[in-house]
Structure 1
Amino acid sequence: MIANEDMQYLLPCSTSFTCYDRFSILDDPEHLEDADGQVPFWSILTTLLKSSVETPAELIELLDTIAVTLREGSGPAGDYQLLKSFISSSQSAFFDTHWPLIVQLALELPQHFPSGSLQVLGNEDSCATLKLSKRQAACLVVHQFLCTLRAPAWREDFFDFGIWYGSSQRHDEACKIYLTCLFTYLETFLPTAKQPQDDWYITYTLVTAKPDYAALGVLPVSLSGIEMVIVDNYQTCPKQLGLPSGASVVAANRYIGFGQSATQEEVHVGSSPEACPAVLITPPLQDNQVLVVRGAEAMLNITGQRREIKAVANDVETSVDWRRRTMLFMDALELDLESDENGLPDLAPENLTREVNKAATAFSSGLYEVIYSPLWGCGAFGGDPFVKVALLWNTILNLIKVFEDDLHKN
């Protein structure tokens, strides 16, 4: 369970979001200081964002000032060398177009979130949802870029984009691709870009399993035929994301989100900046929970796996409706940590039941014509591919039986 005091995630515009004015940025801070000598961070940030930023060095100085003010150090951003190099390659485009927009969106935070906080997706409701407009989501994304946020109560890192900035990276190319996706995303908010529909929202829903699914894996269902499609390259193109009327499985960690390498989850989230704010409001997934994100557009088609990934423009028809894109974040058991002295860990009854019910919770979160899934949990988590395919297959058939039975009852 989440403590009541942690059910709200404070944003930088909150009057309760305070810090020390370590660099004496404010001209007259005394009237703003609380009993501990701290001032609202928003006053410091708005002052900083008025300064001229026209070179990579000035940008890094600003970001480092923010980081030291909030956290006494640069943290994962380290020396900022990857970000500096990335921006230097297209310096005029960034400072002429992206930076003014970043500042504008960042300063809109109080307008879009007057309460100064976000509702954390708790586990008391069976279906807790945060619904954001496109502009609200963009506002949060730029604050993840500026690293003006604090870690949620349940995690210490991987909540802002500072992890992509330093010279010491697990996968340089992946971080560069994620930054490219971020700046491509920001361009969609330029005045010259086609503006999104008014009814386009990004929703983040934490779904907690119903008690009815506790014994789903033992229903007597006959297996029917199955077809597996082998692809030359993994892609994040619309078809493999389940569009227009399906969903795609994101093989997630319990602590969902983005990262520095090219796992399937990191590729999905890194290519879709609007999915990134989910890390701020989603506590670690429990065995009976999944996260469902709808409406997040993938900026680029990332193909390949691990060290072989590359990004190309999404070659899509104008009829593709990204508002219908659905991401099913479901974490698999970390079977690489379990002993196999007594046989394959996948086949332990409690593990079988857990995985079936996890998949059932995700697959029953909506009406989907098709669900695209990788070999869920069969990479770093050490799951057996044959067992996992059988479990996913069985889950779909069980759900079909449940729905058919419900229809007959009604």
Structure 2
Amino acid sequence: MTSSNDAGYLLPCSASFKCFDRFSIIDDTEDLEDPDGQVPFWPILTSLLRSTPIETPTQLAELLDTIAVTLRGSSGPAGDYGFLKSFISTLEPAFFGTYWPLIVQFALELPEHFPSGILPVLGAEGTTSTLELSRRQTACLVVHQFLCTLCPPAWREEYFDFSIWYASGQRHEQACRIYLTCLLTYLGTFLSTSDQQQDDCHVTYTLVTAEADFTTVGSSQAPLSPIEITLVDNYETSPAQLGLPSGAAVVSANRFIGFGQSATQEEVHVGSSPASCPAVLITPPLAKNQVLVVRGAEAVLSITGQRRNITAIPQDTIISTEWRARTMLFMDALELDVESDASGLPDLVPENLTREVNKAAIAFSSGMYEVICSPLWGCGAFGGDPYVKVALLWCAASAAHTSLKIICDREAREIVSSLTRLVTAVRGRLVTAQDLMGLLRSIPRNTARLQTLDWMVERLGA
């Protein structure tokens, strides 16, 4: 199968998107074959979608497997399609009577919405750093992620389509079930929305790249901005925790942004918002001076919790939500050792402090935000010290002249009271972002993780 390259991402409707017609699906291929015996994939796909009856979960799995083997020679992560078949069986006959015709319709619209057959790769030489798509264009791409008709981007081999949710034996079945439910809920919104409303809505994907010497936060004389430490029972993808209507929310991303098979904060945010999923096709791994900003992606369900304890409910339709204003800030934190090593706490390495505060400042300065909502960024699997990380986020928010709201779930209850103590101490002695950065840089490297709070409070005389 033809792969995409760094300059552009090939779509299945491109004449350059080629494969072997392994099952002789199209007739008279001689005129279509290139010297290597490959043919354009689009005639194969259109023939499959138009002529193959799909009325049962097994028939759907067989179609998807035909597509996968045609393109890649195997079913890949989809395996036996056991989980997908089980999920779809719970939706019969609605899936085949309502959703499947819509999926086919969107899939076949691809050449209409993307006549060039190519998407720009964000940040690639000669391309834009922003891609704006209409609501219907976005749905087209999401449907092709469901059908697994796409090729892997040049920088990743997996987690670019939804085949990871299809095999039996998912390690987090509840998460995959919720993500597939979000997908169908998202598609269902097109059944009751006028074309005019669809045209008025857009999703934008912007790769924000700062200059290589971006180090303004450490010397910023900006006054410390308002900060709020909030304790909630559970994290949610509800408007109140997403910064709506005039703020933004931090997505604790990996360098390779996107969705997955479990329930990390990033995966929950993206899985609940199918319109954000095409970002994986056009976003190379984030550099230290880059963040991805996605605007306009609706969280179609409110997913509550993280990891093993997640549930999903419909968004509150009584409260009007302007999803066009929803902003996701994809920021990757450094992966740090949980415990101090022989050379000291990794959080306190000067270049690490600079990298993290600049990463946050790049994100927070990407727009005019009334408030930034953030979890304890980089403090879970990445092992960051929560007191250092929150102080860095506070510095970045101050430099960006925006308020900061740190949201903690009940598992971090003890951290909340300690953070409140830190905020009170800082407010009593320090004035600017530069002052707070100076305090962080003065913490001895041999300070143990979680002992940074006591050191800072004592240094401030509180």
TM superposition score normalised by structure 2: 0.83
Q: Which residue of 2 aligns with 1:405?
A: none
Cα deviation, residue 30, structure 1 = 1.4
Q: Percent identity at matched positions?
A: 71
Q: Is the 8 A contact 2:5 2:154 kept in 1?
A: no
Q: Is the 8 A contact 2:183 2:274 kept in 1?
A: yes
2:16 is aligned with 1:16: yes
Cα deviation, residue 222, structure 1 = 5.9
User: Which SS does the other structure have where 2:401 is aligned?
Assistant: helix
User: Which SS does the other structure have where 2:182 is aligned?
Assistant: helix
Q: Which residue of 1 aligns with 2:442?
A: none
CA distance in 2, matches of 1:338, 1:68: 46
Cα deviation, residue 225, structure 1 = 6.2
Cα deviation, residue 349, structure 1 = 0.3
For 1:142, the aligned partner's letter is V
Tell me, which stretches of 5 or more residues in structure 2 are unaligned? 403-462
CA distance in 2, matches of 1:125, 1:215: 28
User: Which SS does the other structure have where 2:74 is aligned?
Assistant: coil
CA distance in 2, matches of 1:253, 1:274: 19
User: Which SS does the other structure have where 2:132 is aligned?
Assistant: strand
**More moved, 20-29 vs 146-155:** 20-29
Please list, as runs of the form range in 1=range in 2, the aligned pairs for 1:319-334 lying within 5 A after superposition: 319-334=320-335
Partner deviation per Cα, 1:282-313 (whole Å, 9 max, x = no partner): 00000000000000001100001211100001
Cα deviation, residue 31, structure 1 = 1.3
Q: Is the 8 A contact 1:248 1:326 kept in 2?
A: yes
Cα deviation, residue 10, structure 1 = 0.2
For 2:374, the aligned partner's letter is S
Q: Is the 8 A contact 1:127 1:207 kept in 2?
A: no
For 2:287, the aligned partner's letter is Q
Corresponding pairs, count: 398
2:76 is aligned with 1:75: yes
CA distance in 2, matches of 1:224, 1:368: 12
Q: Is the 8 A contact 1:79 1:166 kept in 2?
A: yes
User: Which SS does the other structure have where 1:400 is aligned?
Assistant: coil
Q: Which residue of 1 aligns with 2:444?
A: none
Cα deviation, residue 316, structure 1 = 3.8
Distance 1:193 1:221, change over 3 A: closer
Cα deviation, residue 168, structure 1 = 2.5
For 2:32, the aligned partner's letter is L
CA distance in 2, matches of 1:215, 1:364: 12
For 2:6, the aligned partner's letter is D
Q: Which residue of 1 aligns with 2:248?
A: 247
CA distance in 2, matches of 1:335, 1:314: 36
Q: Which residue of 2 aligns with 1:404?
A: none
2:227 is aligned with 1:205: no
Q: Is the 8 A contact 1:255 1:285 kept in 2?
A: yes
2:39 is aligned with 1:39: yes
Q: Is the 8 A contact 1:138 1:274 kept in 2?
A: yes
Q: Is the 8 A contact 1:223 1:397 kept in 2?
A: yes
User: Which SS does the other structure have where 1:188 is aligned?
Assistant: helix
CA distance in 2, matches of 1:397, 1:36: 58
Cα deviation, residue 320, structure 1 = 1.3
Partner deviation per Cα, 1:119-174 (whole Å, 9 max, x = no partner): 00015589710010000000000000000000000001000000000112221100
Q: Which residue of 1 aligns with 2:135?
A: 134
User: Which SS does the other structure have where 2:230 is aligned?
Assistant: coil
Q: Is the 8 A contact 2:21 2:38 kept in 1?
A: yes
Q: Is the 8 A contact 1:248 1:327 kept in 2?
A: yes
Q: Which residue of 1 aligns with 2:101?
A: 100
CA distance in 1, matches of 2:158, 2:38: 24
For 2:390, the aligned partner's letter is V
TM superposition score normalised by structure 1: 0.93
Q: Is the 8 A contact 1:126 1:209 kept in 2?
A: no
User: Which SS does the other structure have where 1:261 is aligned?
Assistant: coil
CA distance in 1, matches of 2:23, 2:149: 16
CA distance in 2, matches of 1:304, 1:338: 26
**More moved, 301-310 vs 193-202:** 193-202
For 1:343, the aligned partner's letter is G
Q: Is the 8 A contact 1:217 1:395 kept in 2?
A: no
Structure 1 vs Structure 2 CA RMSD = 2.0
Larger Rg over CA atoms: 2
For 2:33, the aligned partner's letter is E
**More moved, 65-74 vs 221-230:** 221-230
Please list, as runs of the form range in 1=range in 2, the aligned pairs for 1:127-276 lying within 5 A after superposition: 128-190=129-191, 192-193=192-193, 196-210=197-211, 213-220=214-221, 223=224, 226-276=227-277
Q: Is the 8 A contact 1:127 1:206 kept in 2?
A: no
Cα deviation, residue 318, structure 1 = 5.2
